[in-house]
Amino acid sequence: MNRKLVRPGATCLIALAAVLAGATIANATIPDADGTVNGCVKSGNGQLYVIDPSVGQTCKKDAALGWNKPGAGGPQGLAGPQGFTGAQGAAGGSGYETMRDQETADGSGSGSAEADCSSGKVAVAGGYELSSSLVPLHSAPTSDGSGWVVDVTGTPNAVFAAYAVCVTNGGS
Identify whether residues 107 and 142 lie together within a single domain: yes
Could you list the residue range(s) of the whole structural domain that residue 62 is in?
A: 34-68
Q: How far is CA 18 from the centre of its chain?
A: 46
What is residue 1's predicted lDDT score, i.e. its pLDDT? 47
Identify whether residues 106 and 151 lie together within a single domain: yes
Per-residue model confidence as pLDDT tens digits over 18-51:
555 554 454 567 777 778 888 999 988 989 888 9
Identify whether residues 63 and 98 lie together within a single domain: no
Identify whether residues 63 and 110 lie together within a single domain: no
84 is a domain residue? no
20 is a domain residue? no
CA 90 to CA 120: how far, in whole Å? 18
39 is a domain residue? yes
Identify whether residues 130 and 64 lie together within a single domain: no
5 is a domain residue? no
What is residue 95's predicted lDDT score, i.e. its pLDDT? 85
Identify whether residues 124 and 162 lie together within a single domain: yes
Identify whether residues 116 and 56 lie together within a single domain: no
Q: In the predicted model, is pLDDT for residue 7 greater than 90?
A: no
Predicted confidence band at 162 (pLDDT cuts at 50, 70, 90)? Answer: very high
Identify whether residues 49 and 98 lie together within a single domain: no
Identify whether residues 61 and 99 lie together within a single domain: no
Alpha-carbon distance values, 162 to 27, 95, 111, 147, 168 (Å):
69, 20, 11, 10, 20
Q: In the predicted model, is pLDDT for residue 172 greater than 70?
A: no
Predicted confidence band at 72 (pLDDT cuts at 50, 70, 90)? Answer: confident
Residue 164: exposed, middle, or buried by beta-carbon count in 10 A (0-12, 13-18, 19+)? buried
151 is a domain residue? yes
Strand-pair category, 121-130 with 111-116: unpaired
Q: Which helix (H) or strand (E) holds 147?
A: strand 147-154
29 is a domain residue? no
Partners of 160 in beta bridges: 103, 130
Identify whether residues 98 and 162 lie together within a single domain: yes
Predicted confidence band at 165 (pLDDT cuts at 50, 70, 90)? Answer: very high
Lowest average pLDDT, out of 44-48, 68-72, 111-115, 126-130, goes to 68-72
| Domain count within the chain | 2
18 is a domain residue? no
Domain containing residue 132: CATH number? 2.60.40
What is residue 11's predicted lDDT score, i.e. its pLDDT? 59
Question: Interior CA angle at 69 toward 65 and 71, to 5°?
Answer: 130
- The residue type of 67 is W
What is the model's pTM? 0.46
19 is a domain residue? no
